[in-house]
Amino acid sequence: MNRLDSIPVNAVPHGAVKHADGNARAILQQIAQMLETLLTTGETGSIDLHALPLSPADRTFLSESLGTGEVQAEVEALGKSRAVETGISGVWWIVHHNADGDVIGEFVEVAFCPEILLTPVEDVRDGLDALRARLFVAGRNLAGHGEDHE
């Protein structure tokens, strides 16, 4: 990708849309509704930002309106994923990258904790099995160690 980036692009953007055309505002309304649902029913919600036409101005308006909160988490799974809690608690900005660093998905998630950060139940089960196996091996090694001294 570096070589592609190094090709100079001389096109001068003219007359690009400079104002948020309203989609950002609509998204904020939707987020407010999702927060209300989260509070009353506990149901989480998600908005796919790639599915919506957003001008750069819309994006800026959206991210500035939400601000930045306390939590920033990074997940390393098939490339990096970043989950950032916005200044509005319970509203998370999730960006998925692939191994090459390209963005493959961008979502606004309304939840107490975004799904990507929660440990899957199956993983907990696998973890328990792995820990038991390690305890078993450790126990056997200890026992083996004891025998050497006898």
- From 50-58, 59-67, 85-93, 136-144, give the range in contact with another protein by CB under 8 A: 50-58
| d(C-alpha 91, C-alpha 26), whole Å | 15
Based on the shown chain and the rule CB under 8 A, indicate whether residue 57 belongs to the binding site for another protein: no
| Binding test (CB under 8 A) with another protein, winner from 34, 90, 91, 96 | 96
- Sheet of 80-85: strands edge to edge? 45-48, 103-110, 91-97, 80-85, 72-76
Query: Binding another protein by CB under 8 A: which of 2, 6, 10, 40?
Result: 10
First-last CA distance in the chain = 63
Is 58:21 a contact under the CB 8 Å cutoff? yes
Our finding on whether 22 is near another protein (CB under 8 A) is no
In terms of C-beta distances under 8 Å and separation of at least 24 residues, what long-range contacts does 86-89 make, across chains too? Answer: 88/31, 88/35
C-alpha triplet 34, 71, 33: angle, nearest 5°: 10
Using CB under 8 A as the binding rule, whether residue 42 contacts another protein is answered as no
- Distance in angstroms (rounded) separating the CA atoms of residues 112 and 25: 23
Nearer to another protein, 122 or 150 (CB): 122
Stretch that binds another protein, among 25-33, 57-65, 75-83, 127-135 (CB under 8 A): 75-83
Residue 107 makes CB contacts below 8 A (sequence gap 6+) with 46, 47, 48, 49, 93, 94
Q: Which residue's CB is nearer to another protein, number 53 or number 144?
A: 53
Q: Judged by CB, which is closer to another protein: 18, or 145?
A: 18
Rule CB under 8 A: say whether 130 interacts with another protein: no
What is the contact surface with another protein in residues (CB under 8 A)? Answer: 1, 4, 10-17, 46-48, 50-51, 53, 75, 77-78, 81, 96, 98-100, 102-105, 107, 109, 115-116, 120, 122-123
